Amino acid sequence: MLASRIKRRVKLHGQRLIVSDLRAHDMAKRAHIFLRPEPSTDLVWINAVARYIIDQGWEDKEFIASRVNDYDKYRTSLDRYTSLEKEGTFVNTERRIQRLYQALPSLGQSRPDWVILRDLAARLGHDWGYQNPSQITD
């Protein structure tokens, strides 16, 4: 039902459609812009988008207040999702290690956390010599 309404609005009213999904399905083919995150980046991607929406003040505060439990905890958990520029691993709530791949290049002069720490160590006299995150875990 929802897909039919979206298709109608795109076709009859000229609205632009942006689809983000790992799968290239019918809606993705109709989209003006189709964003296909790399496998295993979808969790990071959706949380980064959620954080961006909240940072911009676009969230529906009334809906959240009436229907979302522990919103403040969720909002705090998004602090680590500053961008889609990160690469590395993390342990999920099931204690499984997940590998993440960088989805976008760094903006401006920003750098990934591991690069900042590597450069800080070098300034303190410790040349770790890491060139990518996989060397850290090896």
Alpha-carbon distance 37 to 40, whole Å?
8
Residue 108 has pLDDT above 70, yes or no: no
Residue 92's pLDDT band (boundaries 50, 70, 90)? low
Residue 107 has pLDDT above 70, yes or no: no
- Residues 6 or more apart whose CB falls under 8 angstroms from that of 36 comprise 20, 21, 22, 24, 28
- Selected residue with higher pLDDT from 83 and 32: 32
User: The pTM is what?
Assistant: 0.43
> What is the pLDDT, as a whole number, of residue 64?
94
Exposed, middle or buried: residue 41 (CB in 10 Å: 0-12, 13-18, 19+)?
A: buried
Tokens 């676009």 label which residue? 58
> What is the pLDDT, as a whole number, of residue 93?
65
User: ∠ at Cα 40 (20, 121), nearest 5°?
Assistant: 120
> What is the pLDDT, as a whole number, of residue 34?
87
Residue 82 has pLDDT above 70, yes or no: no
Q: Any bridge partners for residue 20, and if so which? A: 35
Residue 4 has pLDDT above 90, yes or no: no
> What is the pLDDT, as a whole number, of residue 97?
75
